[in-house]
Amino acid sequence: MHRRRILWGTLSAIGAALTASRANAATEASPRKLKVAYHLTDLDKVNFVVGNIQNHLDGVGGPGNVTIALVVHGQALKAFHSAAANPDLSKHVGQFGKAGIELAACGNTMKSQNITLADLLPGFVAAERGGVVRLAELQSQGYLYLRP
């Protein structure tokens, strides 16, 4: 009986030490900075996705805590034509550019809409090989894929 108590006490102490060690390791490990690729193709979701990106930035404490890329193609790109963009969208895009968010416009969509980067809101870069190719590249670099 005495041996069981000693054995039980020893095992309990070892278990407590391991649990404490794991808890310390979890709190000491710094969270890694996530990389997120947002995919936008639907014109009717432009404001929703822009709002999601802003909420994402706010939720993690700012652009220094996350790396975000927005890849736009299809009908959604029409919302980012500088001649047609609403002022709120223009403001958000400007803030995103300053925050270091990659704003990529599909080169294939640009050709089909007969536009150049000069026709888009400032801050966009062309995904020359296509929006879906750019998304695949980002995912291969460890970006998480979101298509709201």
Q: Does the pLDDT of residue 136 top 90, yes or no?
A: yes
The tokens for 25 are 């390791």
Question: How much is the mean pLDDT over the chain?
Answer: 87
Q: Read off the pLDDT of residues 85-133 as tens digits, 9 standing for 90 and up.
A: 999 999 999 999 999 999 999 999 999 999 999 999 999 999 999 999 9
Q: From CA 93, how far away is CA 87, in angstroms rounded?
A: 10
> Do 47 and 40 form a contact (C-beta atoms < 8 A)?
no
Q: Read off the pLDDT of residues 6-17 as tens digits, 9 standing for 90 and up.
A: 545 554 545 544
Contacts of 84 (CB under 8 A, 6+ apart): 78
CA angle 91, 121, 34 (to 5 degrees): 70
